[in-house]
Amino acid sequence: MAASGANPDVTRLAPKRHRAGAARQDTPSSSIDPETVTHVVHEVRNHFHRLYHWVEVLEAEPLRTEGRDALDAVTATLHALDHFVIGAFEVFKPIVLTPIRMSGREIIDNMAVVIRGHAGGVPVDVEAPDGLEDVYLAIDGGHISAAIEVLVRRLVGEGGGSGRLTLSATVGAREDSAILTIQLHLQVVRAVPTARLPLVAEIEWAAVERVMAQHGGTILLEEGAGGDERVTLALPLEQ
């Protein structure tokens, strides 16, 4: 389904009962100052850069097969550790939302762009009812785009896989609020194994849950038989 005039660079979704344009920040369960976290991340990055430098030096040296295999293993472990450590620091950083007002149609169109860009060649179908252009949410594009990327990697792996992704949306109600329910369903996947450590995936998933909570929404992962998986997002509509 083609985007209907939506800007593919804008994928912004917003917290419940917060007007578009008003930044909102959450405070993780930590007293660590965000500037301190940023400084520590910078220093850790410097150490990783030094390690990558020495790996490059070793790669330029003639090595026997055993040495080359060991170097490849060290390089893969270094990349995984880099990803894990930097991801772990995200747990301590507050989430600051800068929402803008978008229609349900624009949100689905922009999500489809992000999903297709990270699905590794897996076909993506979009099923959306008429009338989504008449419902509105306020959302933060940077955080939502990052969350969608995590979800796609969770479903199809880093390198893509076989199967078919379906992005669907419905308008409904939850308690006393109207909601937009968005589902990303992967059918009959044979995913390429990811090189990420299990804890990296857990940290990334925790970050997605925080982003959804800040938008006043929820996220649910369901695993079915034969490799089918379904992720359901529920976001509150503008009152």
* CATH code of the domain containing 188: 3.30.565.10
Do 187 and 75 sit in the same domain of this protein?
Answer: no
CB 164 within 8 A of CB 188: yes
Give the separation between CA 173 and CA 236, rounded to whole angstroms. Answer: 9
How many domains does the chain divide into? Answer: 2
- Predicted confidence at residue 190, as pLDDT, reads 52
Do 108 and 84 sit in the same domain of this protein?
Answer: no
Position 26 in a domain: no
- pTM for the model stands at 0.66
- Predicted confidence at residue 11, as pLDDT, reads 33
Position 4 in a domain: no
Position 80 in a domain: yes
Give the separation between CA 106 and CA 239, rounded to whole angstroms. Answer: 18
Do 107 and 78 sit in the same domain of this protein?
Answer: no
Buried-exposed string 62-80: b where 16+ CB fall within 10 A, e elsewhere: eeeeeeeeeeeeebeeeee
Do 132 and 221 sit in the same domain of this protein?
Answer: yes
- Predicted confidence at residue 88, as pLDDT, reads 74
- Predicted confidence at residue 16, as pLDDT, reads 32
Give the separation between CA 134 and CA 150, rounded to whole angstroms. Answer: 29
- Predicted confidence at residue 156, as pLDDT, reads 81
Position 229 in a domain: yes
pLDDT means over runs of 10, the chain (239 residues): 37 34 48 72 87 90 86 88 76 81 94 91 91 93 88 75 86 86 78 52 84 92 78 90
Domain that holds residue 78: 34-90
Do 152 and 112 sit in the same domain of this protein?
Answer: yes
- Predicted confidence at residue 135, as pLDDT, reads 94
Do 39 and 131 sit in the same domain of this protein?
Answer: no
Position 212 in a domain: yes
Do 112 and 186 sit in the same domain of this protein?
Answer: yes
Do 160 and 66 sit in the same domain of this protein?
Answer: no
